[in-house]
Structure 1
């Protein structure tokens, strides 16, 4: 048996059969510039079959600044995109300086979302169609057209990924994270999961709850809702709340182009009175612009201009960007994790009617947006949502943004209830505030928790610090 297979078998013994001793595999680190070390690690495509095909996981490490005060390794996944690439950015995001004061910060890439220069990046030749396209659809023929485009994207990813395609679920990535912990020689896991990285955190918490020392999750998607409609309902209600928060924001800003008006009423009037832009195009522009306060000034201007008779901003300045030339592999993983069983068109219409009843202004469109990603994509491999069982898990810290409609705050709050002893730290900002926005109040609590396990007092919140 070759050395690579021996390492994989050793990892499998540790990760799949608790209690069986195995030699610790080694990592070969190389200097990749800017004070960062890089490595790749061979892991099974499918951890259920550790002797089968392998793939490689990219790692990047920023060593602790002071070896004397070093507390060990902190494994991080920042979510969508190439995680290890952020370690090479100059200047780096400020969180790296804070974390590397006491930890070796080890960033792990998601499967297939790696680096072009070492052939760990998988690009799908057929681009994924924009999920917003399904918002423009109003017939079953339109639905089927989106399904065909998604199926072509999926097929191209399957061909480009080869055997790796069968391992594109968060269940597999959670095992990759466990393999890294073993390779680093850490007795327990310290982990930051941001955005989609929080999905991996949920999987790890269920698979290996007794191996967690600290787990901080931010921008948390809810992988615990087995019924698709429940998951969509949380997204719809959160998005509806976002429209009303936009209204509250506008009332406090003299620079808001809708000052003195009720933005919700302006929106309802725009939909009620046909213009040169269809209601569906208006909905796409609004949904795209509600995500985060920095986009709200442009949204207010677009709504004011539309109210005055010129709705063109909804198809230009606030419209979604076109898809990239190549498909993005994580789009397939999302469907395998969250929507492996896509409803039929007729089934979806019933779901949509119920979403409109609870989120009539804009939230109901979340149904079409999320199904727009996955309709036409086969359900295998699958890691379907299910209630989270993590008995014996050390208390986790979960940050929840009041303005997070990307990973809806209602879903994140639901996840907290299923993590034993977890603390929810609410803040006034949006998605991924710790990594992306540097909320100083939030940062202080995170560092204290990671350093010595101190959780925030019950009920504490952090004020908003995002600019708009």
Structure 2
């Protein structure tokens, strides 16, 4: 049962399996993010009022933060050959910095290899929230040799994530049970069971990670990035952020426009939307992605969803989910494939069209009573390894999301009222997406952020990348973010999957590499395939 749909790169989902076999918060420390009451829109969502804008922080570094900016990092070899790691200190609470409560944030880098003069540091983040930037850097980045040659490639696990004071919530067996909870309740008893699961999850997070839960907002993570920029000796930040990483990068630009260098925001989020509209838009996005998959599937001989059309394929998938709700499929282990796990497995495959052939195979297996394949996909989404251990992604994810924005629903009655809108957005996924959005209602820490625009006036040119059939971050979000950012250029990938850079489009890659190496932005309205 996904606590929230993830905003992370497709590689972070798909490469964790055999598929490639070959939310902004002002935070208690940042009153500078001003937000006002919004305007009601579709499904009761709120859009920010005209003055709900993220405002820059003062350019001068406060005296009480100077020790953090002046710290020296001690680097040592780690992980993959050629990488170095270090630990950076950051204040738990930027409003009240104290050495007694400092956070220790993990940092990694790989120095520029040449040839060519060094251009500085290039920081990366794969999204989530909750994705390990260090793992991403070491396993999937840097992208091309030409960029690696000129930049020190750098990553920092954000506060609450992976190696940086990770949020913890449940034991591994408890998490197994949590992921199997029915997220399409058919009775009051099943609704109560779902609510109890959300409450227990939140209580576990409070018990195990109460110290950091109030201080894992996106704004605080962006402020940590500015400390790292300074510690690395860079006057301006060069950054490639994917998925939720675009929200993090845009927030940085909004807070520190004068320190913004070459910024790429790929698979963009729209900070102007509240949590309900974000969830509803993402529901539509996954429906768009599934429709593309289904239209392709029905043309294949091995399609387990028939050979009629995408709408009929959706009905067949919904029927499979219903069958699994009544009779979970065997998987060869103690866990069975429930409806919720099967739904998550299908969702995981929507992040990258290269997963479609394997999804067809696994859906056929599930139809025949073998749930092992879809369970593998679900495990990849949840970052559960073969030993049964979960990474902290699914704990950090709600911790950030529930702090950055008020919950989309405050109780089951609001979910029920919104179900027609969510079912319209996606006949296949709408109901489960609506109920999974209820989780933040029981979060132990009150949200500190609100929806807002990020103009980042005075920032250097920024490149925003959008994919036309992106499931997790719909293309309209990239258009909206590019319109908000005063110096942004929109680069469009006409295709499927989540994010575009480094995923096979020479046109996209060349445009971004040229920008990173020379500062030349793509032509206005440039579209790639």
TM-score higher than 0.5: yes
More divergent stretch after superposition (276-285 vs 46-55): 276-285
What is the rounded CA distance, in whole Å, between the counterparts of 2:524 and 2:299 in structure 1? Answer: 29
Matched, 1:241 2:288: yes
Quote the offset at 1:176 in angstroms.
0.2
> Unaligned stretches of 5+ in structure 1?
1-14, 464-468
Which of the residues 293, 297, 314 maps onto 2:353? 293
Quote the offset at 1:449 in angstroms.
1.1
Quote the offset at 1:287 in angstroms.
4.2
Query: 1:189-226: per-residue Cα shift (whole Å, max 9, x none)?
Result: 11111222222112212212222122111233333203
Quote the offset at 1:170 in angstroms.
0.8
**Partners of 1:257 and 1:297 within 8 A in 2:** no
Quote the offset at 1:368 in angstroms.
2.5
Please give the secondary structure, in 2, of the residue aligned with 1:456.
coil
Matched, 1:378 2:444: yes
Aligned to 1:359: 425
Aligned to 1:317: 373
Query: 1:84-139: per-residue Cα shift (whole Å, max 9, x none)?
Result: 134444xx645163432111111111113233xxx844543445565674533233
Matched, 1:402 2:460: no
| Shift in CA distance, 334/137, structure 1 to aligned 2, threshold 3 Å | same
Matched, 1:42 2:89: yes
**Partners of 1:131 and 1:373 within 8 A in 2:** no
The aligned runs of 1:335-350 (5 Å cut-off) are 335-340=402-407, 342-350=409-417
What is the rounded CA distance, in whole Å, between the counterparts of 2:264 and 2:110 in structure 1? Answer: 19
Aligned to 1:10: none
Query: 1:370-396: per-residue Cα shift (whole Å, max 9, x none)?
Result: 415534223435333323342222221
Please give the secondary structure, in 2, of the residue aligned with 1:100.
helix
More divergent stretch after superposition (344-353 vs 62-71): 62-71
Matched, 1:25 2:71: yes
* Corresponding pairs, count: 437
> Unaligned stretches of 5+ in structure 2?
1-55, 327-337
The aligned runs of 1:421-436 (5 Å cut-off) are 421-427=487-493, 428-434=495-501
Please give the secondary structure, in 2, of the residue aligned with 1:415.
helix
Quote the offset at 1:49 in angstroms.
1.7
| Shift in CA distance, 125/303, structure 1 to aligned 2, threshold 3 Å | closer
Query: 1:275-309: per-residue Cα shift (whole Å, max 9, x none)?
Result: 74449939826545434323323444566688xxx
Matched, 1:183 2:225: no
Aligned to 2:506: 440
Please give the secondary structure, in 1, of the residue aligned with 2:293.
helix
| Shift in CA distance, 216/54, structure 1 to aligned 2, threshold 3 Å | same
| Shift in CA distance, 130/220, structure 1 to aligned 2, threshold 3 Å | farther
Root-mean-square deviation over aligned CA pairs:
3.3
Higher relative contact order (CA 8 A, sep 6+): 2
Aligned to 2:120: 72
Query: 1:216-259: per-residue Cα shift (whole Å, max 9, x none)?
Result: 11233333203x33222311222222232123323665664567
| Shift in CA distance, 393/304, structure 1 to aligned 2, threshold 3 Å | same
Please give the secondary structure, in 2, of the residue aligned with 1:317.
helix
Matched, 1:202 2:250: yes
